[in-house]
Amino acid sequence: MPLSSLRILDLSRLLPGPYCSMFFSDFGAEVIKIEEPNLGDYVRWNDTKVGENSAVFHSLNRNKKSVTLNLKTEKGKEVFRKLVETSDIVLESFRPGVMDRLGLGYEDLKKINPGIIYCAITGYGQDGPYSQMPGHDINYQSYAGLLGLQGHIEGPPVLSAIQIADIGGGSQMATIGILIALQARNLTGEGQFVDIAMRDGVMSWMQSMYPDYFVNNKVLEKGKLRLGGGKACYYAYETADGRYLSVGALEEKFWKVFCTEIEAKHLIEKLNAPFEVQMQMKAEIAAIIKKKTLEEWNAIFEGKDACVSPILNIDEVVQDPQVKARNMVIEKDGEKYLGFPIKLSKTPGEVKKSAPNLGEDNQDILTELGYSAEEIEAWKKDGIL
């Protein structure tokens, strides 16, 4: 597999770090989760279990190994440093300074292995006045200016059902950063520090918002954005059976088809009308869409170039023919997983094994490092493993 030469030491927990390292493990990298003895990654203990661990943990940590280490002990630090000697990447998500205080920060580890790529995912980055602030996805979206732009004009900000900052601002930025650092190492032979702040990542996603502001200095308002409910051609409308139809007819050719099919041709010329007119149009369209069920509208728009879609529930998504054609739900040893969003023609991703139990690979990895079975057993009793 394309990444089979890489060894990653993943000290992260919860979502951002494990989702990042999942991409690497899916394409062949050896990902070793370094977990706290007796506790491990907190996601293990979520509800909806598959065996001893949660379904979410199984999804995020497929293809990985688990080694328990108490990094507050000298022996635990010794073992970790020894692992670093033969590793390519260290991934962590502690607050800035935690690993430095343990003597295991980037400056310490690069002395052991100059080629090591050290990636830290934090909320606000390694420097600046917010670097030590605690936070979660909602906080990073708030400080990025995104949360304040989500929702209807009359109501409060609306939270996304997924963690935009954790995944988009954290996991994916970390994945890209590590890959860039790997390419740089191919040229120079040296590793480097990859500093990922989830707040930064969310701001970077806002490419349709900040550039306009930089030019006109106009503060954007919730509910008035072109892609945030400000236009009638880009909105979700309720059907007669309480379901919803999404409309994304931004271009004139799609808008014309949409207006024709709902028998409201008089709206075609108003595609780019002022905001107040858009509100009136939305009310008119809402009344029309409310007259038929989702199934009836699906039949009307089937095969039509209008950018109109049913808003599906998860149980409908997994049965969707396009999802099946793209293998976005896969099964391995009786367990179902989300499939690979990255399709490679020659070296595709693969689920080779399920997520590891806590410390499942202690014996194999530590034996490989040269430690004896007696030492390993003694460390378990001493709380090192």
Q: Which residues are known catalytic residues?
A: 136, 166
**Burial degree of 182 (CB within 10 A; 0-12, 13-18, 19+):** middle
d(C-alpha 266, C-alpha 308), whole Å:
19
Q: Could you tell me the CA-to-CA distances from 273 to 154, 163, 254, 278, 282 in Å, in that order?
A: 20, 34, 16, 6, 12
Residue 193, amino acid: F
The conformation of residue 46, written as its DSSP 8-state character, comes to S
d(C-alpha 134, C-alpha 94), whole Å:
10
d(C-alpha 225, C-alpha 173), whole Å:
25
The conformation of residue 146, written as its DSSP 8-state character, comes to S
Residue 324, amino acid: K
Residues 6+ apart with CB under 8 A from 39: none
Structure token digits, residue 247 = 């409309």
d(C-alpha 126, C-alpha 120), whole Å:
8
d(C-alpha 17, C-alpha 252), whole Å:
42
